[in-house]
Amino acid sequence: MSQQPAENKLWGGRFTGATDPLMDLYNASLPYDKIMYKADLEGTKVYTEGLNKINLLTKEELSEIHRGLKEIEKEWETNTFVEKAGDEDIHTANERRLGEIIGKHIAGKVHTGRSRNDQVATDMRIYVRERLTQLLQFLSEFVKTILKRAEQEIDVLMPGYTHLQRAQPIRWSHWLSMYATYFTEDFKRGKQILQRVNQSPLGSGALAGHPYGIDREFLAQGLGFEAPIGNSLTAVSDRDFVVETLFWSSLFMNHISRFSEDLIIYSTAEFGFIQCADAYSTGSSLMPQKKNPDSLELLRGKSGRVFGSLAGFMMSLKSIPSTYNKDMQEDKEPLFDALTTVEHSILIATGVISTLSINRERMEGALTMDMLATDLADYLVRKGVPFRETHHISGECVRAAEELKLSGIDQLTLEQFKNIDERFNEDVKDVFDFEASVERRTATGGAAKSAVLKQLKNLDSQLN
């Protein structure tokens, strides 16, 4: 790489020597921050309108600048923008190109009162706002896909697990509703973060504020921000919105990882509850009989990548003094990578859940009568026996069935039940019905059909 004289740089007036070529490479961010070209051009467009409003640009100059910005945007969109040595970031590249199109005299006025400190903070917020808005739309569609499936397969029963041990019967739709609830909370959390992202740093200058009294409310409104950030020092140095976005991404990926892990387990031959569609599976290079849930394993694996982005940036940020420091350039690569990973993960997960097939017979065949031991205790509770006592009695019934080598507690005779506790009657046999067990759980959030349908309706309303 050839050395670039300092005079070609936005900050070159103070410096007379060339920088180390490795330093140019180390310092440059254009290879990854050019993804924000549209946000940068939009910010410049509105900023120059603000300069015109305080008579630092004429209408004719403003018109020329806007013409040049449109041409630059077209070049980026058509992949004809020519990057040149000395373009250390998207801001430098766009301003250099603007000077080539409309002349350096007018282009040189664009940056009046503005610093790359408030410029990059503005670009980042515009970019994150747009990406988060799109991601929330994808996330909403993902959750609605889950809800639709849950409604269609409301009658399918399966074991519910704790400690990966069969616990109590539930509906497959109840399981789907659980993850739909997690992802709906992610949706709501994302909307809250979006509000905090949508604050304007523009017009704060390098750190001390704008020297020409620019109307920051006008700039904020023009860029669709809710309001300007109230302190210029904060405005240029705040990256909490990046941290929050990375945390949101990490928490979503935590949920998608757990979702994937369940489905991976359920797809094994030992369970056989579900099978991924061919579009989201691969085979083995050695064992032709295998069908691997690679989509789900990648979803699970990529969660670590996003967690790492959050942890890495937090370490970069934790000891930075006020206000802007170059360390903050390290916000972009982890943020961009995390947002892209989350976007792809949502789309893949939507494809997986909309195309997988379930094996109802295997799901319901995995239900065993010992899973109704709590229902047996509840049977006596309804007869007025304290639960702590009924829990002990139910445990004795389970032990008796095991000692007699019966297939389940339902195989005990009425006489055997009465030998354990006289309060058992003929109607004890009614306990041993999986559908009835599920349907008893009608309280909000429960596994009864009415309760699950209410959950699905409530989640859908929150998305809307």
Annotated catalytic sites, by residue? 163, 284
HSE (CB half, 13 Å, CA atoms) of 48?
26
Summary count for the chain: helices (H), strands (E):
19, 6
* 149 vs 357: CA distance, rounded Å: 11
Backbone angles phi, psi at 232, to 5 degrees: -65, -35
Q: Which residues contact 23 (CB under 8 A, 6 or more apart)?
A: none
**CA separation, residue 292 to residues 266, 275, 359 (Å):** 12, 10, 17
- The secondary structure of residue 268, as a DSSP letter, is S
Are the beta carbons of 168 and 373 closer than 8 angstroms?
no
Are the beta carbons of 46 and 62 closer than 8 angstroms?
no
Residues 338/344/346/348 CA torsion (nearest 10 deg): -150
Q: Is the dihedral of CA 277, 282, 284, 285 positive or negative?
A: positive
Q: Which residues contact 158 (CB under 8 A, 6 or more apart)?
A: 169, 170, 171, 172, 175, 273, 363, 364, 366, 367
**CA separation, residue 269 to residues 39, 225, 275 (Å):** 50, 53, 10
* 360 vs 143: CA distance, rounded Å: 22
82: which 2 tokens?
């020519």
